[in-house]
A and B are shown apart, each in its own frame.
Chain A
Amino acid sequence: MDNDIVLKTEDLTKHYGGVHALEGANFEMKKGEHVAIMGDNGAGKSTFVRQITGVEQRTRGKVFFYGDEVNFAGPLDAREAGIETVFQTLALADDLNVPDNLFLGREKTKWNFLGPFRFLDYKAMHADTMAGLEKTGVKIPNIRNTIANMSGGQRQCVAIARTATFASKLTIMDEPTAALGVQETAQVENIIRTLKEADEPLILVSHNMRQVMELVDRIIVFRRGRMVANLNVNETNGEDVVSYITGAKTGAEFEGAA
């Protein structure tokens, strides 16, 4: 299979009991590409992300990552394979500081013969954290500060900085700016641009039309659990995308889907 393809899904389907949350999604993205996923609430965006990242197990279909078929048993599997996800709910431990959160579940350790009581290598984690934050351009006044003492924007930046620290092969952001103010949103968008310059592939789930038009190469629209459009940003406009989202239009290749 072509190794230029970062992620490919075939007939990806998820049913919650009788609810068809995701139905037959065929998705493909290339190296260095930034793809946005749009759609109304309940259109299947987050469901799609959860199947790829192993948070949930799909009902049917195949997922290929860099050409290999993958079956992630859980989010850790996906992360080990190189998929870093910034979840809608932040998945940060409030009472821990920045390096602790970045390395949660994959701490750098020494004296490993001690098993669960092996010691943390704070120095190495600290250094890697600084490197990761610099790479993403995230500014945090004091990384020893606990997450509880940080603003929403700083928290989001910490979550995103994880991706940079661990040299991921694919970054997925699920509405990273939904809860942020204008300035903080700008900060996160800057990070996304930094990732683009570094040729890091990204899937961005977002409701923000301006953001999507500015940042990504391609827009995938979901409606009622199905993919209904695959649009090149240069060949479309906001109005057009909205009509796909609301159901006024359906992409030619997806006719009969919804």
Chain B
Amino acid sequence: MSETSDGIGGLTFDKSKKSWPNELNVLLALFIIVAVFEILGQLLPYMNDQSFLFDTRGRFDSIFNEARLQIIILQVAIIGIIALGATQVILTAGIDLSSGPLVAATAMIAMSFGQTELVNGNPNPKAVFGVWAMDLPVIVPIAIGLMFGAFIGFINGTFVAFFRIPPFIATLGMFLICRGIALWWSGGRPVSFPTESYKFLGSGMMPVVWFLALAAIFHVILKYTVYGKHTYAIGSNEEAARMSGINVKRHKVLVYMVASMLAAFAGVVLSAKASTAQAGMGEFYELFAIAMAVIGGISLTGGRGSIIGTVLGAMVLGVIRSGFTFIKLDGSYQLMAMGGIIIAAVVLDQYRQRNRT
């Protein structure tokens, strides 16, 4: 199909600018960071010529270090699931700070319905409820977790959209409330001994499967459905969206619900992976999720960015984390480096915005 309209209008406009997709920038940054660690592995005296991701000396089956890549993705997968939701909220020019504590609260609540009755022949010592809540089909804890997430998201969205509370404040309040719920749920005691099918949700590479499958689904949703189009439209120009007849308030509530349900699901997977749920889980997860989105090119002013960007942003954080471990620098340096990269990403976004026509 032709891209140019051949009207009778007599004007020729200045040639349209081909825009360079932001995702490529993130991919480029990813390659550069990998290359830096690769070079550091060769140069640093205490590294003994170790390779990071690519090896030319035939020490692995292939030149590619798949094991390390798997670990990198596994480490970011659960926060990545939250980041998929954070992406959508940020696309509407909002923010969701409540996702980290929501992970903990959902983990506690969901696992309470996913416990096994007998541990080595003895009654489950960490039982939250009676026998009626034991050995339920795994769909029950998942459904309860998602419902709880949807409820929290509904409240977030309602306060943001209908009561016009700034998203930062509304979700900051929910941040504390959810942490409180997590502590209150079992009086601060951890919930443990889940059923085998519950454990399976987080076993092995399952978190990666969930992350990539959900990323694919939401990529399609954001790009090809009305939900996605309205999400971009609201973040791009809320007034225009309203004038065009989009029910902006209802849509925002829906976006916050979807985001919180993703965070809730991340909580289920996290507790399944750890085989336990604790009230202190998911600390800083909301910030890392937002960081992944921002590094991936999701504009904090809304309307621009994509799920692919967020997945790449998650990979950038994962590679940095793994790389710092690789060159034997501890967590303090990792945090400083991540902080620097987040600021750089926002500066880049601002720069791009200023240079728009």
Chain A interface (Cβ < 8 Å from any Cβ of B): 55, 74-76, 79, 87, 89-96, 100, 104-107, 109, 114, 116-120, 122-123, 126-127, 129-130, 133-134, 136-146, 148-151, 153-154, 157, 183-184, 186-187, 190-191
Within 8 A of A (CB), among B201-230: 221, 224-227, 229
Q: CA of A74 to CA of B246 in the docked complex: distance in angstroms?
A: 11
| B332 is an interface residue with CB less than 8 A from chain A | no
Name the prevailing secondary structure of the B interface residues: loop
Decide: A93 and B237 in contact? CB cutoff 8 A: yes
Having A93-B237, A138-B7, A139-B12, one finds 4 other A-B pairs with CB under 8 Å, namely: A95-B232, A117-B226, A129-B5, A149-B17
Say yes or no: A183-B245 contact (C-beta < 8 A), given A95-B236, A126-B1, A141-B4.
no
Task: Give me the 3 closest cross-chain CB pairs, A-B, nearest first.
Answer: A76-B245, A105-B244, A105-B245
Produce 1/0 per residue, B12-55, CB < 8 A to A: 11111101000000000000000000000000000000000000
Decide: B5 and A120 in contact? CB cutoff 8 A: no
Decide: B303 and A95 in contact? CB cutoff 8 A: yes
Q: CA of A187 to CA of B224 in the docked complex: distance in angstroms?
A: 33
Decide: A139 and B9 in contact? CB cutoff 8 A: yes
Q: CA of A79 to CA of B3 in the docked complex: distance in angstroms?
A: 27
Say yes or no: A143-B13 contact (C-beta < 8 A), given A92-B237, A93-B233.
no
Closest beta carbon of chain A to B198's beta carbon, Å: 28
Within 8 A of A (CB), among B122-179: none
| B2 is an interface residue with CB less than 8 A from chain A | yes
Closest beta carbon of chain B to A107's beta carbon, Å: 5
**Interface pairs (12), CB distance under 8 Å:** A91-B244, A95-B232, A95-B236, A104-B240, A117-B221, A117-B226, A136-B7, A139-B7, A143-B3, A149-B17, A187-B9, A191-B9
Q: CA of A43 to CA of B315 in the docked complex: distance in angstroms?
A: 58
Say yes or no: A120-B13 contact (C-beta < 8 A), given A91-B239, A138-B7.
no
Query: Which residue on chain B has the smallest CB distance to residue A79?
Result: B245
| B254 is an interface residue with CB less than 8 A from chain A | yes
Closest beta carbon of chain A to B18's beta carbon, Å: 9
| B6 is an interface residue with CB less than 8 A from chain A | yes
Q: CA of A133 to CA of B2 in the docked complex: distance in angstroms?
A: 13
Decide: A187 and B357 in contact? CB cutoff 8 A: no
Residues on A with beta carbons closer than 8 Å to the beta carbon of B304: 95
Decide: B7 and A95 in contact? CB cutoff 8 A: no
Decide: B15 and A104 in contact? CB cutoff 8 A: no
Most chain A CB inside 10 Å of its own CB: which residue of B3, B224, B243, B245: B243
Decide: B241 and A105 in contact? CB cutoff 8 A: yes
Residues on A with beta carbons closer than 8 Å to the beta carbon of B336: none
Decide: B5 and A139 in contact? CB cutoff 8 A: yes
Closest beta carbon of chain B to A37's beta carbon, Å: 20
Chain B interface (Cβ < 8 Å from any Cβ of A): 1-17, 19, 221, 224-227, 229, 232-233, 235-237, 239-241, 243-246, 251, 254, 303-304, 356-357
Closest beta carbon of chain B to A96's beta carbon, Å: 6
Residues on B with beta carbons closer than 8 Å to the beta carbon of A89: 239
Most chain A CB inside 10 Å of its own CB: which residue of B221, B233, B235: B233
Closest beta carbon of chain B to A134's beta carbon, Å: 5
Q: CA of A144 to CA of B2 in the docked complex: distance in angstroms?
A: 11
Residues on A with beta carbons closer than 8 Å to the beta carbon of B14: 151
Closest beta carbon of chain A to B14's beta carbon, Å: 6
Q: CA of A104 to CA of B239 in the docked complex: distance in angstroms?
A: 12
Most chain B CB inside 10 Å of its own CB: which residue of A94, A95, A107, A140: A95
Closest beta carbon of chain B to A130's beta carbon, Å: 6
Decide: B9 and A149 in contact? CB cutoff 8 A: no
Say yes or no: A93-B236 contact (C-beta < 8 A), given A118-B225, A141-B16.
yes
Decide: B245 and A93 in contact? CB cutoff 8 A: no
Query: Which residue on chain A has the smallest CB distance to residue B251?
Result: A116
Residues on B with beta carbons closer than 8 Å to the beta carbon of A130: 1-2, 5
Decide: A140 and B243 in contact? CB cutoff 8 A: no
Closest beta carbon of chain B to A7's beta carbon, Å: 20
Q: CA of A118 to CA of B228 in the docked complex: distance in angstroms?
A: 10
Residues on A with beta carbons closer than 8 Å to the beta carbon of B1: 123, 126-127, 130
Say yes or no: A117-B225 contact (C-beta < 8 A), given A105-B246, A126-B1, A130-B2.
yes
Closest beta carbon of chain B to A179's beta carbon, Å: 14
Q: CA of A184 to CA of B11 in the docked complex: distance in angstroms?
A: 8
Q: CA of A120 to CA of B2 in the docked complex: distance in angstroms?
A: 19
Say yes or no: A142-B245 contact (C-beta < 8 A), given A95-B236, A149-B19, A151-B14.
no
Say yes or no: A91-B237 contact (C-beta < 8 A), given A79-B245, A149-B16.
yes
Residues on B with beta carbons closer than 8 Å to the beta carbon of A92: 237, 240
Decide: B17 and A75 in contact? CB cutoff 8 A: no
Query: Which residue on chain B has the smallest CB distance to residue A135?
Result: B7
Residues on B with beta carbons closer than 8 Å to the beta carbon of A75: 243, 245
Decide: B3 and A109 in contact? CB cutoff 8 A: no
Closest beta carbon of chain B to A112's beta carbon, Å: 9
Q: CA of A126 to CA of B2 in the docked complex: distance in angstroms?
A: 10
* CB < 8 Å neighbour of A138 from B9, B17, B246: B9
Closest beta carbon of chain B to A209's beta carbon, Å: 23
Query: Which residue on chain B has the smallest CB distance to residue A76?
Result: B245
Decide: A133 and B225 in contact? CB cutoff 8 A: no
Residues on A with beta carbons closer than 8 Å to the beta carbon of B243: 55, 75, 87, 91
Q: CA of A147 to CA of B6 in the docked complex: distance in angstroms?
A: 19
Query: Which residue on chain B has the smallest CB distance to residue A129?
Result: B5
Q: CA of A103 to CA of B42 in the docked complex: distance in angstroms?
A: 55
Closest beta carbon of chain A to B251's beta carbon, Å: 8
Decide: B245 and A119 in contact? CB cutoff 8 A: no
